[in-house]
Amino acid sequence: MRLSALAAAATLALLTALPARAEIAVGEHAHERLSAFVWEERVIHHLAMLLVAEATDFHASGHSDFTPSRPVHGDGGNARRLVGRSLAGHPGANTLSTGDCLRITTGARVPDDADTVVQQENVIVEGETLRVTTMPERGMNVRDVGSDSAYDALLIPGGTRLAAADLGVLAAHGIVTVEVIRKLRVALFSTGDELVEAGATPGEGQIHDANRALLHALLGDAAIEIDDLGICPDTPSALAKTLEAAREADALVSSGGVSVGEADHVRDVLGANGDVALWKIAMKPGRPLTFGSTGIGQIFFGLPGNPVSAALTALLFVRPALERMLGATAGTAHATVTAILDGSLHKRPGRVEFQRGVLSTVQGSLPRVATTGAQDSHILVSLQRANCLIELPIGSAGAKDGEKVTVHPFTGFGHSPL
């Protein structure tokens, strides 16, 4: 079966499994709770509001006590007897007799016998007598029980990535803890004898390893712990040793070593100790992509060694899979837009191609897009200057100046865009 690159990405996401659940405290170290995924829905059905409260300082009374058929100003029929007060956290009497009223402050309970609250600037108080100078509407300034959420309402669906407002909603409803998917552990390493660390001086024929820094920033967030395993030498034994060091990880992501060269050992070592489900995709850049599992069932992604290829395969394939492992709804597509192409693009049919581009908005018209220049997969500045990907379909030979093209804005990929 032949799949498009994006269809393959969705399929790989479906193949991943959920890790174990964990329980978190809603209020404690709240910034660390952001991005956790809610495990299931049943824990967040709750009574939404326990008190009837009002928005500012008023006087509470029953609306039916007023006589709107008569003039309000100077009318004795709109006089009330002031019998007490209700303060925030210190409620007054919960019953009122006809013709009585209660002074009430912001956040205080409204008596059951009252359904209307009048602002204090619309009343005249003379001793224990209160006169209303402006006829109120029934229910004015009263927040009903359940006005935030109804009893037994679903507050947050299972699979939701928690944000600041979600934590506030949970705390407001008295929920102290909630079950979530625990943080995902991802082991990351590069392969290649030609690589040295960014702070080291390259020897003859060597280059700095850019991929780990790039992929760490692209894949890591509050819900994912990245374990950087460094640079793995180009030998089967070194690769097997690195895989052994990653035994506690839920997923492994490597870059390099997945082509067909003599020193590219990832596919062979993985196949000998696990399972290779996918090798090569009809996509440029990013063709040499390996997907499979280790001998102990960990998800494994072997990404190309060229940094642009590694970044795009991580964005289109690895991130959706990791988010699925964290509990996100499967099959959720990222946002795309249609734009007018500035300049011509050329490609060979047979592979879908993603060129790095700059998307610009045009008032009253479709946005416009142009490439960042040379598109070779080693040119990292083409990625640095871009804010989108221009998709050229698998059967096309490119696109002409002025044609409509499909564009994938980096912001459409959600957390940690490029």
Mean pLDDT of the chain: 80
Going from the C-alpha of 119 to that of each of 77, 86, 94, 106, 136, the distances in angstroms are 19, 15, 20, 11, 9
Position 200 confidence tier, pLDDT thresholds 50, 70, 90: very high
The pLDDT score that the predictor gives to residue 205 is 93
Residue 240: burial class (beta carbons within 10 Å; 0-12, 13-18, 19+) = middle
Minimal CA–CA distance to 78: which of 91, 92, 62? Answer: 62
* 288: Cα separation from own chain's centroid: 29
According to CATH, the superfamily of the domain at 5-17+185-325 is MoaB/Mog-like domain (3.40.980.10)
Instruction: Find out whether the peptide bond into 157 is cis, omega within 30 degrees of 0.
Output: no
| Phi, psi angles (nearest 5°) of residue 188 | -125, 130
Q: Which of 91-100, 234-243, 389-398 has the lowest mean pLDDT?
A: 91-100
Domain 53-143 has what CATH class? mainly beta
The pLDDT score that the predictor gives to residue 166 is 86
Burial 357-391 (b: 16+ CB within 10 A, else e): bbbeeeeeeeebbbbbeebebebeebbeebbbbbb
Query: Hey, is 30 helix, strand or coil?
Result: helix
Domain 337-413 has what CATH class? mainly beta
Q: Which of 65-74, 168-177, 268-277 has the lowest mean pLDDT?
A: 65-74
Q: Using the 8-state DSSP alphabet, how is residue 158 labeled? A: T
Q: Tens of pLDDT along 334-343? A: 789 999 999 9
For residue 188, which amino acid is it? L
Q: Where are the domains of the chain?
A: 5-17+185-325, 27-48+151-181, 53-143, 337-413
Q: What is the DSSP string of 67-95?
A: -TTS-STT-GGGEEEEEEEEBTTB---S-
Domain 27-48+151-181, architecture per CATH? Alpha-Beta Complex (3.90)
Q: Which of 15-29, 183-197, 251-265, 305-319 has the lowest mean pLDDT?
A: 15-29
Of 107 and 401, more confident? 401
Q: In the chain, what percentage of residues exceed pLDDT 90?
A: 38
Residues linked to residue 38 through DSSP beta bridges, in sequence order: 180
The pLDDT score that the predictor gives to residue 76 is 46
> Crossing angle for the helix pair 236-245 and 266-273, nearest 10 degrees?
60
User: Do the strands 290-293 and 251-255 form a parallel or antiparallel pair, or are they unpaired?
Assistant: unpaired
Q: In the chain, what percentage of residues exceed pLDDT 70?
A: 77
Cα–Cα distance measured from residue 311 to residue 349, given in angstroms and rounded to the nearest whole number: 23
For residue 310, which amino acid is it? A
The pTM of the full predicted model, rounded to 2 decimals, is: 0.74
* 43: Cα separation from own chain's centroid: 21
The pLDDT score that the predictor gives to residue 335 is 85
pLDDT at residue 8 tops 60: no
pLDDT at residue 261 tops 70: no
Of 76 and 337, more confident? 337
Task: Please check whether residue 391 is in contact with residue 339, taking contact to mean a CB–CB distance below 8 angstroms.
Answer: no
For residue 202, which amino acid is it? P
Token pair listed for 274? 């696990």
The pLDDT score that the predictor gives to residue 69 is 34
The pLDDT score that the predictor gives to residue 123 is 84
